[in-house]
Amino acid sequence: MPAFPDPPSPQPPSAGRPVATPGPKSSTIGLWFRDLLISAAASVLIITFLYQPVRVEGTSMLPRLEDRDRLFINKFVYHIEAIERGDIVVFRYPKDPEKSYIKRVIALPGDRIYIVRGQVWLNDKPLREPYVPQAYRDTRSMPEMTVPEGCYFMMGDHRSISSDSREFGPVARDLIYGKAVFVYWPAKDAGVLR
């Protein structure tokens, strides 16, 4: 008697296509927890090595920075770039390193600087300062000095109330720990700092 092959068994309608089967609820929670840990680790690395949020206290950097503005400082940039005139930087106050100040870099190491009735002279040329409105200028003078190597001369933009290098002297490079780059709060003031 001839042998006949068994007829093929009927295939379900989804044959040839993968079928999604519901996985255990615990695997979804595990994935969510893993993503949360990765996000937290990335945030810690960014804040520790790159950007740090800070709050402005005081009005010495008016009109651009107001009291209680919140901004990001870049803590890494000065490892790969030089500090430049005009940068807004955050540094430890030379007379009390527990406090931090935010000011603008006016003169670099080796620069000669003096001030005559509020006008800053840098290397025998008047310094143009469009970031200081006329209403925020003062009439203080300062005798000529040469900024020491490894130090920077800092001033606030609101000259008439700023405590800065005119009082506490040039700031050593190792006290500078970040460049102010972006205001994020309040929203009306949000933007890149220049």
User: What whole-number percentage of the chain has pLDDT above 90?
Assistant: 67
Query: Does 47 have pLDDT greater than 90?
Result: no
In this prediction, residue 44 carries a pLDDT of 61
Give CA–CA dist 105/154, Å, rounded: 5
pTM confidence score: 0.76
Banded model confidence at residue 51, pLDDT cuts 50, 70, 90:
confident
Domains of the chain from N-terminus onward: 54-192 (2.10.109.10)
Over range 39-60, report the average pLDDT. Answer: 75
**Token digits for 7?**
């007829």
Single out the catalytic residue among 26, 27, 39, 60. 60
pLDDT in tens, 144-181: 999 999 999 999 999 999 999 999 999 999 999 999 99
Residue 1 pLDDT level (bands cut at 50, 70, 90): very low
**Rounded distance, CA 74 to CA 179, Å?**
5
Q: Which residues pair with 88 in a beta bridge?
A: 104
More confident residue, 31 or 140: 140
Is 103 designated active site? yes
Evaluated on CA atoms 117, 94, 102, 153, the torsion sign reads positive
User: Where residue 7 falls among pLDDT bands split at 50, 70, 90?
Assistant: low
Tell me the percentage of the chain whose pLDDT exceeds 70. 81
Tell me the average pLDDT of the chain. Answer: 86
Instruction: Say if residues 174 and 151 touch (Cβ distance below 8 Å).
Output: no
Q: What is the pLDDT of residue 43?
A: 62
Confidence at residue 175, expressed as pLDDT on a 0 to 100 scale? 97
Residue 117 pLDDT: 96
Quick one: pLDDT at residue 21? 53
Amino acid, single-letter form, for residue 66: E
Question: Per-residue pLDDT tens for 122-151?
Answer: 999 999 999 999 999 999 999 999 999 999
160: annotated active-site residue: no
Query: Among the options 95, 99, 103, 163, which is catalytic?
Result: 103
φ, ψ for residue 186, nearest 5 deg: -75, 160
- Does residue 107 register a pLDDT over 90? yes
